[in-house]
Amino acid sequence: VRPRKAPQTPQPLSPPLSRRPSRPRRRPRAAAAAAMLPLARAALRRLGPVTAGDGSLPARLLLLAPLASKPSSSTPPEYQMPSVTWGVIQGRRERLVSRVLALDFLRSAGVTDPAGELEAVELPSSLDVLQERLDFLLRLGLSTDDLSAYPFLLACSLRKNVIPVLSYLEKLGVTRARLAAFVRAYPACLHASVAVDLAPIVKALRGLDVDRQDIPRVLERYPDVLGLKPDGTISTSVAYLVGIVGVAPRDIGPMVTHYPFFLSMRVGTTIKPFCDYITSLGLPMRILARIIEKRPYILGYDLEETVKPNVEALLSFGIRKEVLPLMIAQYPSILGLPLKVKLAAQQYFFNLKLKIDPDGFARAIEKLPQLVSLHQNVILKPVEFLRGRGITDDDIGRMLIRCPQILLLRNELMKNSFYFFKSELKRPISELLEYPEYFTYSLESRIKPRYMRVASKGIRCSLDWFLNCSDQRFEERMRGDFIEGDAPGPSFTMGGKLQMPGNQLVSDDDNEESDDEVLYRRTVML
């Protein structure tokens, strides 16, 4: 019988938590790699130059020989898939040595990295792969300066990133000649995935009624749209414009085509403050929606630095506050101009050349806000025409204050209208001075036909009476048994109805129009 062994107390599998020795913290890989780079460079300097004098294999290439891949026999075409992607699996020392060689190679090729951005990214272990990427990007049309400005392009795999993205852009309609400019404007697109990042954005643009043939135009004009999220800024911006402002959904597609930048604008910091300020001036939200539909670029005007100073400049030059909404509706671009400088120059010109005082200049700007952008040579042509017909400067000034639109007319049209006025109408020049709007009507489609009707009935009336009315009102006047006297034209006042003289001739439907509809109807060529 074997003797029974004494029982042994079981030993713990691991020491108690309190007695476990503390392990030293490991340094992050990026920090360790950065710390080893100077040592690797020093070791390479001790190995000698790149080329050997005795014809033997150079020292640096001996280190790189196990890591480099098989060299390519010929330069591949631009869109041929690369045959080599990465080298063999390396250890820590080999990775540091290959990184030093890669950075030295790029530096010798003219690609600089002043910010040290390439220190934190993984570069190819083979110089052949790096050379292949560099040649491809240079053949695409990029320069070494472009690569130095964004060196992360050299960290993009040709097979996984660059070629699929470029092929997808070319499939959408971006021409190969424009690919270099596209990548230069938005180099981060080469890091994106076609299926995960790019295709959803294109699908979202098509969902906004952007025509397929307009997709390349949108992408080339605003390449950063590929970095947006369809369910993020794009959806909130479009939802606010459609749901709150009142933009028609069918107009979102043309808006994106002409000004895609509003897709990246935040509602709370850009779009809503702009709309709130414009409506606070007295412009109805419905009219603002119509303006944005036709001119979406006004959303890009900086509210604090451009829009508000321009409104203050208009008020400081004598523009009445109640007229501001009509001026904005007539000429929305006035909100984004360097307005103070333009107003000062035009006011001095009107006072010096046309003898119009600042108050008269303000009244002319209220009726034609485009005057702030009108070139002075263009202004002088109609003025010289009127002077050549014996009209004094004072009379010309009063004509321009009453009807500044004559400054936009061509001299040929004014000459034909003036000749008809003198030869057929045979009226004194004083009537033309009292009603300079005569020049703004078409001679063939309005002045001649209506004058023939008036002359055939033997009616003696003013120019205003038979020209300043609609076709329906003119027919009513021709059928009437009596001739109504001249009355002032319509007057516009923000916050109230459109007061029309002779309301007994206006139908009830016209009187039931809302303020917004009246202002929209009177807006000049939005």
Q: Tell me how many degrees the CA angle 117-122-128 measures, rounded to the nearest 5.
A: 110
Domain at 196-300: CATH code: 1.25.70.10
Please tell me whether residue 489 adopts helix, strand or coil conformation: coil
User: How far, in Å, CA of 60 to CA of 252, rounded?
Assistant: 60
CB atoms within 10 A of CB 488: 8
C-beta separation of 126 from 68 below 8 A = yes
- Which residue type, as a one-letter code, is found at position 208? L
How would you classify residue 465: left for phi > 0, otherwise alpha for psi between -120 and 50, otherwise beta? alpha
User: How far, in Å, CA of 358 to CA of 267, rounded?
Assistant: 40
Q: How is residue 140 written in tokens?
A: 């695409």
Q: Residue 481 has what pLDDT?
A: 56
Q: In the chain, what are the domain boundaries?
A: 92-191, 196-300
- Which residue type, as a one-letter code, is found at position 344? A
Q: What share of residues in the chain are helix, strand, coil (percent, to 5)? A: 65, 0, 35
User: How far, in Å, CA of 246 to CA of 248, rounded?
Assistant: 6
Please tell me whether residue 318 adopts helix, strand or coil conformation: coil
Q: Residue 36 has what pLDDT?
A: 53
CB atoms within 10 A of CB 340: 15
User: How far, in Å, CA of 255 to CA of 250, rounded?
Assistant: 10
- Which residue type, as a one-letter code, is found at position 521? R
Q: Residue 375 has what pLDDT?
A: 93
User: How far, in Å, CA of 285 to CA of 417, rounded?
Assistant: 40
Q: What's the burial of 199, exposed, middle or buried (CB within 10 Å: 0-12/13-18/19+)?
A: middle
User: How far, in Å, CA of 255 to CA of 261, rounded?
Assistant: 10
Q: Which of 453, 403, 443, 445 is nearest to 420 (CA)?
A: 443
CB atoms within 10 A of CB 411: 12
Using the structure block, give the residue that is written with the tokens 């000062």: 344
Query: Which strand (E) or helix (H) includes residue 280?
Result: helix 272-280
- Which residue type, as a one-letter code, is found at position 41? R
User: How far, in Å, CA of 380 to CA of 388, rounded?
Assistant: 12
Helices assigned H by DSSP within 436-470: 448-456, 463-467
C-beta separation of 74 from 85 below 8 A = no
Query: Which strand (E) or helix (H) includes residue 349?
Result: helix 339-353
| pLDDT tens per residue across all 526 residues of the chain | 455 554 454 444 444 444 444 444 444 444 545 555 555 555 445 444 444 434 443 444 333 433 334 444 444 444 555 544 444 445 566 667 667 777 777 888 888 877 777 776 777 767 888 888 889 999 999 988 888 888 888 888 888 889 999 999 999 999 989 999 999 999 999 989 999 999 999 999 999 999 999 999 999 999 999 999 888 889 999 999 999 999 999 999 999 999 999 999 999 999 999 999 999 999 999 999 999 999 999 999 999 999 999 999 999 999 999 999 999 999 999 999 999 999 999 999 999 999 999 999 999 999 999 999 999 999 999 999 999 999 999 999 999 999 999 999 999 999 999 999 999 999 999 999 999 999 999 999 999 999 999 999 888 889 999 999 999 999 988 887 555 555 554 444 433 333 433 333 333 333 444 545 444 444 433 3
Q: Residue 22 has what pLDDT?
A: 45
Q: Residue 154 has what pLDDT?
A: 84
Q: What's the burial of 210, exposed, middle or buried (CB within 10 Å: 0-12/13-18/19+)?
A: buried
C-beta separation of 268 from 233 below 8 A = no
Please tell me whether residue 392 adopts helix, strand or coil conformation: coil
Residues 6+ apart with CB under 8 A from 223: 182, 185, 186, 189
Please tell me whether residue 377 adopts helix, strand or coil conformation: helix
Please state the φ and ψ torsions of residue 22, each to the nearest 5 degrees. Answer: -75, 135
Q: Which of 116, 60, 69, 113 is nearest to 90 (CA)?
A: 69
Q: How far apart, in Å, are the Cα atoms of 269 and each of 237, 238, 273?
A: 11, 15, 7
